[in-house]
Amino acid sequence: MAILLFAEHDNTALSDQTARTLTAAAKIGAEIDILVAGNAAKGVAEAAARLAGVRKVLLAESEALTHRLAEPTADLLVSLAGNYDTIIAPATTTGKNVLPRVAALLDVMQISEIIEVVAPDTFKRPIYAGNAVQTVQTTDTTKVITVRTAGFAPAASQDAGAAIEEVAQAADSGLSRFVENRFSVSERPELSSARIVISGGRALGSEEKFREIILPLADKLGAAVGASRAAVDAGYAPNDWQVGQTGKIVAPDLYIACGISGAIQHVAGMKDAKVIVAINKDAEAPIFQLADYGLVGDIFELLPELERQL
Ligand code: FAD
């Protein structure tokens, strides 16, 4: 039996989360189809078809799929599920919104945020905010899986493309309706896929100071900006900058934590960074146990100095 990979995209570009999920899927089985559900998303389907190892791409286009709301998208996936023994998606906001509904409709248990494929029916996934790794074996006839993509390299793209087959959207149940998208417009790289992330914590003390101290440095480094939950809750940084268990999971080449103590819930979101730099005035702060490079001192002196040096 085969694997159906639910693609992540914005109707224009295919996210590299799809290529990473394909690498995970290839460890489960060889017959992998990608489902591109969207509206005017032919270009996305063509990009998906060029990913190495794809058998074919299923393209479902309709008004109801424009924003991939959970209800119509899950109906579509369930209508296709009979041909597949695995349905897999990256653990993005969309994947985490759609796949639980698919699992519920199929009456199977979702296996969430896998970080390793041990065997086609056995997976590793973090629990307790990443403090333990659980090995799960499933006997479900259809496996519904989300993938924490940071641990999987993106599958390569090639010139020759697999076939693209159009599939009909299942009837729209009309259970949900798209109202609006509110994006924070930024020139900086996207937090989840940035190569460098600089994050600020409660120590920043105010939104003004966060912007004054962290943003110029981020711009010089070409970095995405992250924040601890304490900084977000205090209103120093917007919600979508939060890194951690209840925020974004990041795995950049370089993560710079500024005035962040290193609570386990924060560490759960950034411990996979290749190089971690911590700047904190408390030499005993837990973040230093994790950091590759630690600087003990006041961020209000050190960060402007670092920016000048750059
Ligand atoms: P603090 O812990 O207050 O640390 C501030 C640090 O700044 C201290 O180490 C201090 O020494 C240092 N400092 C102060 N002034 C300076 C200065 N001038 N120069 C240098 N250093 C200075 N947190 C997250 O981040 N992400 C999550 O997703 C998340 N999810 C959670 C989920 C649950 C269910 C729970 C219970 C908590 C969660 N938290 C999360 C909160 C987490 O437990 C911590 O409270 C939070 O991470 C602390 O943020 P902080 O490090 O900025 O603040």
Tokens of 162: 């697999």
Query: Looking at residues 1-14, what average pLDDT do you find?
Result: 95
Distance 304 CA to ligand 1 centre (A): 21
pLDDT at 192: 83
Query: Looking at residues 28-36, what average pLDDT do you find?
Result: 97
Query: Looking at residues 86-92, what average pLDDT do you find?
Result: 96
Tokens of 277: 């730099």
Which protein residue's CA is at the shortest distance from atom 7 of ligand 1? 259
pLDDT at 298: 98
Going across the sheet that includes 275-280, the strands are: 224-227, 196-200, 254-258, 275-280, 293-296
pTM across the whole model:
0.79
Tokens of 144: 């519904």
Instruction: Supply the DSSP string of 171-189, one letter for each residue.
Output: PP----------PPP-SSP
Kindly indicate the confidence band of residue 5, based on its pLDDT and cuts at 50, 70 and 90: very high
pLDDT at 106: 98
Tokens of 244: 């951690």
Query: How do residues 103-127 score in pLDDT, each as one tens digit?
Result: 999 999 999 999 999 999 999 999 9
**Cα dist from 53 to 151, 163, 214, whole Å:** 19, 12, 42
Instruction: Tell me, using a 6 A CB cutoff, whether residue 249 lines ligand 1.
Output: no
pLDDT at 131: 81
Pairing of the two strands 84-90 and 143-147? parallel
Instruction: Tell me, using a 6 A CB cutoff, whether residue 266 lines ligand 1.
Output: yes
Instruction: Tell me, using a 6 A CB cutoff, whether residue 281 lines ligand 1.
Output: yes
Widest Cα–Cα separation across the chain: 61
Which protein residue's CA is at the shortest distance from atom 52 of ligand 1? 201
Spell out a b/e string for 256-292, using b for 16 or more CB atoms within 10 Å of the CB, else e.
Answer: bbbbbbbbeebbbbbbbbeebbbbbeeeebbbbebbe
Distance 169 CA to ligand 1 centre (A): 45
pLDDT at 174: 85
pLDDT at 275: 97
Residue 83: pLDDT over 90: yes
Query: How does the average pLDDT of the chain come out, rounded?
Result: 94
Let me know: does 28 contact 111? Beta carbons within 8 Å: no
Amino acid letter, residue 310: L
Instruction: Tell me, using a 6 A CB cutoff, whether residue 211 lines ligand 1.
Output: no
Instruction: Write phi, then psi, for 263 (nearest 5 degrees).
Output: -60, 150
**Helix, strand, coil content of the chain in percent (nearest 5):** 35, 30, 40
Query: How do residues 126-174 score in pLDDT, each as one tens digit?
Result: 998 778 999 999 999 999 999 998 889 999 999 889 999 999 877 778 8
- Cα-based angle 276, 152, 144 (whole degrees, multiple of 5): 125
Beta partners for 34? 5, 57
* Secondary structure of residue 255 in the 3-state scheme: strand
Kindly indicate the confidence band of residue 12, based on its pLDDT and cuts at 50, 70 and 90: very high
Which protein residue's CA is at the shortest distance from atom 4 of ligand 1? 261
Distance 215 CA to ligand 1 centre (A): 19
Of 97, 95, 134, the C-alpha closest to 115 is: 134
Query: How do residues 189-218 score in pLDDT, each as one tens digit?
Result: 889 889 999 999 999 999 999 999 999 999
Instruction: Tell me, using a 6 A CB cutoff, whether residue 92 lines ligand 1.
Output: no
Instruction: Tell me, using a 6 A CB cutoff, whether residue 259 lines ligand 1.
Output: yes
Distance 260 CA to ligand 1 centre (A): 5
Instruction: Tell me, using a 6 A CB cutoff, whether residue 245 lines ligand 1.
Output: yes
Query: Looking at residues 22-32, what average pLDDT do you find?
Result: 97
Q: Which residue has the higher pLDDT, 12 or 130?
A: 12
> What residue ranges define each of the domains in the chain, with the CATH number in brackets?
2-166 (3.40.50.620), 191-309 (3.40.50.1220)
Which protein residue's CA is at the shortest distance from atom 33 of ligand 1? 265
